Amino acid sequence: NAGVTQTPKFQVLKTGQSMTLQCAQDMNHEYMSWYRQDPGMGLRLIHYSVGAGITDQGEVPNGYNVSRSTTEDFPLRLLSAAPSQTSVYFCASNSWQGPGELFFGEGSRLTVL
């Protein structure tokens, strides 16, 4: 099992550009989520999903879009990138059977100029 795979690992954008961070998991987990982590800060929840076709907002959803068309994939879209979105993004998945045991990807480091 690869676990949770995030791509790309690094990305530089210009203000106003759009892009999608990809996240895939091969553990058949029902739940998936996106977090961002800024320097010296903990993890903040952006969006989460409880299953295919179902998504909801976390603590800091503005400027981000998500969809969950399959159990495996949960892409995060930045519609019009802003410097405030410079951060490290982590995707995670978990199962109702082990609800608090999150499996995290390696992270995607995004810089918006």
By CB under 8 A, name the binding residues for other proteins.
4, 30-31, 33, 35, 41-45, 48-50, 56, 58-59, 88, 90, 92, 94, 96, 99-107, 109
CA–CA separation, 113 vs 104, rounded Å? 27
Q: How far is the CB of 78 from other proteins (least distance, A)?
A: 20
Q: How far is the CB of 72 from other proteins (least distance, A)?
A: 16
Q: How far is the CB of 98 from other proteins (least distance, A)?
A: 9
> Which residue number, 17 or 60, has a Cβ lying nearer to other proteins?
60
> Which residue number, 92 or 112, has a Cβ lying nearer to other proteins?
92
- 71 within 8 A of 51, measured Cβ to Cβ: yes
Q: Which residues have C-beta within 8 Å of that of residue 40, sequence separation ≥ 6? A: none
CA–CA separation, 111 vs 88, rounded Å? 9
Q: Which residues have C-beta within 8 Å of that of residue 42, sequence separation ≥ 6? A: none
> Which residue number, 78 or 105, has a Cβ lying nearer to other proteins?
105
